Amino acid sequence: MILDRDTKNKPMTKNPVVTLNIDDIALIEELQVRKKLDNKTINTYMNSYKNNADMPIVKVAKIYDGYVMVDGWHRLEAMKRLGYPQLEVEIVAYSMPEAKGCASTANVTHGLKINKGEVKKALGLYIKGGRHLKGKYGTIKPYRDIAKELGGIVCIFYHDSFKRGEYGR
């Protein structure tokens, strides 16, 4: 069972890793870049969990008195479908804007990659989370840095969106 894995396989993180009840994790639609979950990906993850494969840990943000899903929507759904009442999560200390920024980049390094139709929402979360700004004075990062953080697919969308005034500063 996934929750009984050997501690040598635990992720190296400075954030606490705990076991939470799945029902205690709030799924806020605004933090989901995808239009819908992908059943093929969920089934793949279900098979991985059944075979006790190492999977990236789900990330939740502790906001106010609850836990909010930030990264791991498909993994959480796979665990639900397998009937697990709990799962291991990494608790990150994010405000809601920071959670939006994290959600925007979640599928750049792992999981089902975001498609072109999801880029605009990812970009919006990235900007609402303030991840497009750098330094103590909040200057806008170079486009190439933003594109790198968002998987190289959004630079032109970012530039055009600012020209149209969609995102403000």
Work out whether the CA dihedral 122, 63, 23, 17 comes out positive or negative: positive
Determine the average pLDDT of the residues in 29-49: 88
pLDDT for 50 beyond 90: yes
pLDDT for 127 beyond 70: yes
Give the class (CATH, top level) of 2-163: alpha beta
Question: What value does the CA radius of gyration of the chain take, rounded to a whole number of Å?
Answer: 17
Return the pLDDT at 75: 94
Cα within 13 Å of Cα(16), Cβ side: 7
Give the tens place of pLDDT for each residue, 9-27. 444 558 899 999 999 999 9
Between 116 and 155, name the one with better pLDDT.
116
Q: Phi and psi dihedrals of 58, rounded to 5?
A: -75, 140
Give the tens place of pLDDT for each residue, 68-111. 999 899 999 999 999 999 999 999 988 888 887 777 667 665 56
Contact 59, 102 (CB under 8 A): yes
Domains in the chain: boundaries: 2-163
Determine the average pLDDT of the residues in 18-44: 90
> Where does residue 102 rank: exposed (0-12), middle (13-18), buried (19+ CB within 10 A)?
buried
Return the pLDDT at 117: 64
* Averaged pLDDT score across all residues of the chain: 77
